Amino acid sequence: MPEFSLTPEDVGERLDRYVTRQLPTHSRAYVQHLIDEQQILVDGRATKAGYRLRASDRISVSLPPPKPLGILPQPIPLDILHEDSYLLVVNKMAGMVVHPSPGNASGTLVNALLAHCTHLSGIGGFERPGIVHRLDKDTSGVIVVAKDDATHRGLARLFADRQVKKRYLAVVQGNIRDAEGVIDAAVGRHPVHRQQMSTHTRVGRQAVTEFRVLERFGLYTMVELRPRTGRTHQIRVHFAEAGHPVVGDPVYRRRGALAPSLEAPRQMLHARVLGFAHPATGASVRAISELPPDFEAVRKRLRGAR
């Protein structure tokens, strides 16, 4: 049963927000459900999700065992970059959803993993076995998966403590003025369009993205991205609201664009590098995914137009 003691910075925060930060693999809605079910206690007593924390509080969390998997294994080919007894690192193709959800019950990365592995961690729940972090459906590249609960917790701590090295590549609209820089703007739910994220939000979480220009194509720019945080749609929102939406992004491409949209098969965002200290062995793990053919084709087309 995980138990947490507060720091001075935590005092006054809502209970559900605090626990969600401590358990980054669980959604806030799931944490609120646990509070309602009295699985999360403050000093041994049940309370409400909106309870404001005090300095002396001790929070205990009882995570119920994962439900039996109702997801069918599917023999979908996987591009595995690293695998051992504790985890595997996969090069996810664009167009593949990470885990089942309404409208995407099959053909996901989880379906493929269940056909490949005999065991996956259950911390993420029966719909997300092994899933520590996610990539958008149309983002390609490197993702790590945990085979057991201890490894899952270790990886989640590394992500929460910003000890995972992440490098993305993107082609964005417009000619970015600076050769490198940092975008520091909190990201949260859009105040009107609830399925989207935005920096113009009532309640946002810190989001920081470093960037470096790799190549200029006149009206478009290829950048390397180093997100210090991992908020939902962080890179896409940061660059769209700076006037440089990711080429091919179907959601954020119209927001403040400084160049005409470029036809692309999907959003030109690729998770190229993932590096971390193995939570079980301490060994350095570094996986690299080269540009997929559809991304490379867009880059060659831009070079030719230039």
Strands of the sheet with 187-189, listed across from one edge: 197-198, 187-189, 204-205
Terminal CA-to-CA distance of the chain, rounded, Å?
59
Inter-residue contact 34 to 28 (CB < 8 Å): no
The one catalytic residue among 136, 138, 148, 249: 136
CA distance to 98, 137, 157, per residue, from 140 (Å): 11, 8, 24
Q: Any idea what the Cα angle at residue 27 is, between residues 51 and 197, rounded to 5°?
A: 100
Burial of 37 (0-12, 13-18, 19+ CB in 10 A): exposed
Q: Any idea what the Cα angle at residue 226 is, between residues 222 and 231, rounded to 5°?
A: 110
CA distance 268 to 270: 7
Closest CA to 136 of 243, 37, 251, 301: 251
Establish whether 148 is a catalytic residue. Answer: no
CA distance 152 to 25: 9
Element (H, E) at 141: strand 140-146
Q: 66 is written with which tokens?
A: 């994962």
| Phi, psi of 44, rounded to the nearest 5 degrees | 80, 5
Q: Which residues have a catalytic role annotated?
A: 136
